[in-house]
Amino acid sequence: MTGFTVLDDPAPPMKMPAVALDPAHARRPHRAPETPDTPETSASAAPTWTPDDGASPGHAEFRFASPRTGLVAHGVRARLDVPSWDGPAVAGAAHELLARAAGARWAGEPAPILVGAIPFDPSRPAHLVVPAHQSWHPVVSSGAPADTSEEGPLPVARPEHALPGRDDAVFRAAVGRAVSRLEDGAAEKVVLARTLDVSAAEPLDRGAVRAAVRRANPDAYVFDVELPGDQGHLVGASPELLVSVRDGVLHSHPLAGSAPRSADPDEDRATAQRLLASEKDLREHAFVTDAIREVLRAYVDREEDLDVPATPELVATSHLWHLGTPITARLTPGTSVLDVVYALHPTPAVCGHPQDAARELIGSLEPFDRGFYTGLVGWADQAGNGEWAIVLRCGVVRGAEVRLFAGAGVVVGSTPEGEHAETAVKFSTLLSALGGVS
């Protein structure tokens, strides 16, 4: 397209070929086995809960579409004001808040749920609310809930300028320093991110962006969350499910290790097979699955209730091949999705390993606040069910301005050029939805 200059040189959009791979080795991002029904709970508290005075139809918009089910919510009945770092306190307060909301609902109203976003940095407050209004819809082929009109052309406000949030040389230097620190034993893996600021001639049509990104990524978790204050809207299409829980059964699908796809079918197939055999990427992926296995052991009664495959599979998205491992578990009765969410977050897929050492490296090498990027977005109900995706392939939209985020896992053997190229490809998910790149 014309009038759109990208200084970071993200990979251009491409039409991906159909690639024949062994089904045992190539899968789409994990989806829950059944479309979740509207969560139901029983009122267990006296009707003493008082709705938030800020409840209004246009306030705190929240949209979250899994591959099969779309959730649309707005308005605020109550907010959860608990420090994000205290996971058990958040889970307990959420359960109490939902119980109070269930006791206060009118006859015929759906059971209340908690929706929102959790930041990467646990010292920052989460954005979690009980919405005043909610509705569930099957996702149609466009990736939009069936009762919303999100089909349509690409955004009218096409990007005119895209400026790097970080200078290329700065990011490459950060990767180089990180590799040196890893070689010295500071950590085994660290995830570094960078930003890209995009401006358009007029406010962006977020509905068109959601529809466009879902058409290209039908198995993604598409979200649009109105952030508090004047922070804008968090919009994206994550390929990675951190955790879903339905009737005590947990599903997780961590992704770590990736390679760019090719428009040439033979090269695309060869790239996928090289990724599956890459010692560096397999090692990076193992950090993630090992960490998740160790956490989940505390939430099952027996070892056989936890299934973590020994080797990863190939997962295809519009622009990248990923290594992914579908994990399932039968949780100990009484375990809620938020219990597990806060125990797992952040995984080595978005932070590094060991976690404390990786956090220290991120703090010294990333000169910006991630905010909700690499945090979580999703919902939970009073019965302990819920679904939470990692906030990836995303941006924060403020009218005609968008800040995009992308990151890459750095291990011994990583190169500045390789990690920069990986982030450029990841930017393309939203850049393509914003109108394409010339």
Q: If we measure between CA atoms, which residue out of 242, 255, 213 comes closest to residue 390?
A: 242
Is residue 158, in this structure, part of any structural domain at all? yes
The whole-number pLDDT of residue 158 equals 47
45-74: average pLDDT: 67
Give 186's pLDDT tier (boundaries 50, 70, 90): very high
CATH number of domain containing 373: 3.60.120.10
- For residue 105, being part of any structural domain is answered with yes
**Average pLDDT value for residue range 11-27:** 38
- Full DSSP string of 113-176: EEEEEE-SSTTSPPEEEE-SEEEEEEB-TTSSBTTS---SSSPSS-EEEEEESS-HHHHHHHHH
Based on the structure, what is the number of domains in the chain? 1
Weakest mean pLDDT among 140-149, 261-270, 414-423: 140-149
Reported as a pLDDT band with limits 50, 70 and 90, residue 3 is very low
Within a domain: 44: no
Task: State the Cα–Cα distance between residues 288 and 252, nearest whole angstrom.
Answer: 12
Whether residue 90 is contained in a domain is answered as yes
On whether residue 406 sits in a domain, the answer given is: yes
State residue 15's pLDDT score: 36
Q: What are the tens digits of pLDDT across the range 96-128?
A: 999 998 888 777 788 999 999 999 998 888 999
- Judge whether 43 lies within some domain: no
Active site residues: 189, 240
Cα–Cα distance for residue pair 344/350, rounded to 1 Å: 11
The reply to whether 47 falls in a domain is no
Other CB atoms within a 10 A radius of the CB of residue 195 amount to 23
Structure tokens at 206: 């977020």
Record the tokens describing residue 380, joined without a space.
Answer: 């939970």
Which residue segment(s) compose the domain that 200 sits in? 5-11+19-34+56-433
Q: What is the mean pLDDT of residues 303-329?
A: 97
- Which of 1-15, 27-41, 163-177, 279-293 has the weakest average pLDDT? 1-15
Beta carbons of 255 and 347 less than 8 angstroms apart = no
- Is 359 a member of any domain? yes
Mean pLDDT to the nearest integer, 191-205: 92
